[in-house]
Amino acid sequence: MPRVLIADDQPAVIEALRLLLKGEGFETRTVASPLDAAEALARQAFDVALIDLNYTRDTTSGQEGLDLLAKLRELDPTLPVVVMTAWGSVELAVGAMQRGASDFVQKPWDNARLLTILRTQSELARALRKGERLEAENKMLREDGNGGERPLLVARSAAMQPVLELLRHVGPSDANVLITGENGTGKEVVARTLHTLSARAPKPMVAVNAGALAEGTFESELFGHVRGAFTDAKSDRVGRFELADGGTLFLDEIANVPVNLQTKLLRVLETGEFEPVGSSRTRRVDVRVLSATNADLKEDAASGRFRRDLFFRLNTVEIHLPPLRERPEDIPALAAHFLGRHAHRYRKELSGFEPAALEALASYAWPGNVRELDHVVQRAVLLARGAEVKAADLGLLQSARGEGGERRLEEMSLEEVERLLIQKALRRFGGNVSQAAEALGLSRSALYRRMQKYEI
């Protein structure tokens, strides 16, 4: 029977939580102050703590709750702490997550979501105390040992260790996560890893690329529509939120969501409720939202281009992915993985890369990051004629860090020139698609289409 420590100074809240958890098979210990909570933990072990952030003497700042969080983690570093706040302060909840809270809920809470969080966290705590969890998670995060069904995250470099640590900590929670980094760094792989580590893994993960959607289709794509809602609405359509019910929704390139739709997105994140386009009937879903961007969303929020409250709701925890050029130790392992996958796909017998090919991979700047490495290895597998991939098979000479070996433009096809210009623009602006598109005289969506065409 999972043991839950509940700390709240409102008797009605304490009683409601006690009755709810008792009916669901939890054993509870309730206290009314941070001091009593610390004393209870000092005397007895718990599987999870559920604590309020605001107490009678501290109705706005949440400092007493944050101090209690720190004290509980000091007493038992393995204890998952779920925080509650009745003040709608997403910033306060974010601060608690950054200080080690495992998850957060807002009052009034949703019973099903709260129970899911407490069950998940208590099970993880028990596994951790038995010494079973860390090694299993390390293996899951680093290896693709399940027939390719699980996402592969190659993370042997020092630059990727903070990413692994965050995945271990927040993956099992229901927390919304913002994944940042240049294009092609593997943000969707991280999102799928988070989904796999969560209790939602048996349910679907639905991905939406906001950068590839026309502005007029956003609302219908996310929330669906009913027949007759607009000219081309010839039948009802289920939106992505409804498709992801019970699972995870991954919103890639979240900075592209139009300002006029951000309010509706914020509402569904806060309440789980929305109406399809053309309908007055409210739908309710239970969805964890993971989002990704290569833009500086904090700057966009400060300038008004992105709602500040939506930014905080999405950014409960941020995971930043370093570009491939900052994690060169991972290049050989990534290349070997892609080689095995594409060799199997194209039914080719290849044992690996010759030394000169490995040297070419290591010396390349990789403006397109891991996605470009995947494309380069795929091309090399198709062109390879021997048992090993040769440097010439990679086609990297014209784009290596040393510019002396570049082919002349007149020797290149139009598509090769366009691909090279896009790569150089992305490299020049550190992977920022908006700036690269402006420099090339293209819209963001037009640049995305070309990047997809050339697999950049």
Q: pLDDT (tens digit, 9 = 90+) per residue, 50-71?
A: 999 888 655 556 788 888 998 9
Instruction: Return the pLDDT at 413.
Output: 74
The average pLDDT across 400-424 equals: 64
Is pLDDT at 251 greater than 90 in this prediction?
A: yes
What does the pLDDT average to over 401-429? 67
Res 403 pLDDT > 60: no
Q: What is the pLDDT of residues 307-337, one digit of tens each?
A: 999 999 999 899 999 999 999 989 998 998 8
Would you place residue 77 in the very low, low, confident or very high pLDDT band (cuts 50, 70, 90)?
Answer: confident
Structure confidence at residue 40 (pLDDT): 93
pLDDT tens, residue by residue, 259-297? 888 999 999 998 999 999 888 889 999 999 999 999 889
Highest averaged pLDDT of the listed ranges 127-141, 176-190, 402-416: 176-190
Tell whether the model's pLDDT for residue 48 goes beyond 90: yes
Q: H/E/C letters for each residue in the chain?
A: CCEEEEECCCHHHHHHHHHHHHHCCCEEEEECCHHHHHHHHHHCCCCEEEEECCECCECCCCHHHHHHHHHHHHHCCCCCEEEEECCCCHHHHHHHHHCCCCEEEECCCCHHHHHHHHHHHHHHHHHHHCCCHHHHHHHHHHCCCCCCCCCCCCCCCHHHHHHHHHHHHHCCCCCCEEEECCCCCCHHHHHHHHHHHCCCCCCCEEEEEHHHCCHHHHHHHHHEECCCCCCCCCCCEECHHHHCCCCEEEEECHHHCCHHHHHHHHHHHHHCEECCECCCCCEECCCEEEEEECCCHHHHHHHCCCCHHHHHHHCCEEEECCCHHHCHHHHHHHHHHHHHHHHHHCCCCCCEECHHHHHHHHHECCCCHHHHHHHHHHHHHHHCCCCEECHHHHCCHHHECCHHHCCCHHHCCHHHHHHHHHHHHHHHCCCCHHHHHHHHCCCHHHHHHHHHHCCC
What rounded mean pLDDT belongs to the chain? Answer: 83
Please tell me which residue, 156 or 193, carries the higher pLDDT value.
193
Query: What domains sit in the chain, N to C, each tagged with a CATH number?
Result: 3-131 (3.40.50.2300), 135-320 (3.40.50.300), 324-453 (1.10.8.60)
Grade residue 144 by pLDDT with cuts at 50, 70 and 90: very low
pLDDT band at 429 (very low <50, low <70, confident <90, very high): confident
pLDDT at 407 (0 to 100): 52
Question: What percent of the chain clears pLDDT 90, i.e. is strictly above it?
Answer: 33
pLDDT tier for residue 74 given thresholds of 50, 70 and 90:
confident
Task: Please tell me the predicted confidence (pLDDT) of residue 46.
Answer: 92
pLDDT at 148: 40
Q: Is the pLDDT reported for residue 202 higher than 50?
A: yes
Q: What is residue 111's predicted lDDT score, i.e. its pLDDT?
A: 87
- pLDDT over threshold 50, residue 402: no
Provide, rounded to the nearest whole percent, the portion of the chain with pLDDT above 70: 86
pLDDT of residue 128: 54
**pLDDT the model gives residue 60:** 58
pLDDT given at position 57: 59
pLDDT at 5: 96
Looking at residue 404, its pLDDT comes to 38
